[in-house]
Amino acid sequence: MSFSCKNYDYNDDKCLMLKQECIPGRPGCVLEGRIALSEALTERIKALEQEKNSSKTNKK
Ligand code: SF4
């Protein structure tokens, strides 16, 4: 990781604030809307949203 975030847990490679995987710029992240996302990060966030949507659809 080439940046430093006070919420990043280096031991666990996770976000302490969101208690999930650190994906800079993801919804809820302190950087959301404040940084230009690389293509790779945009893809990870899209995949995350799709995962969330499919888990919502599967819950009945
Ligand atoms: S997801 Fe955002 S707030 Fe959380 S550790 Fe990563 S950069 Fe920091």
**Which protein residues are within 6 Å of ligand 1, measured from CB?**
5, 7-8, 15, 17-18, 22-24, 26, 29-31
pLDDT at 52: 85
pLDDT at 60: 54
Higher pLDDT, 26 or 60: 26
Q: Contact at 8 Å (CB) between 8 and 22?
A: yes
pLDDT at 59: 60
Cα–Cα distance for residue pair 19/55, rounded to 1 Å: 18
pLDDT at 22: 94
pTM of this structure: 0.78
Q: Contact at 8 Å (CB) between 27 and 6?
A: no
- Mode of pairing for the β-strands spanning 14-15 and 8-9: antiparallel
Interval 5-39: pLDDT, tens: 999 999 998 999 999 999 999 999 999 999 899 99
Q: Is residue 55's pLDDT more than 90? A: no
Cα–Cα distance for residue pair 4/10, rounded to 1 Å: 10
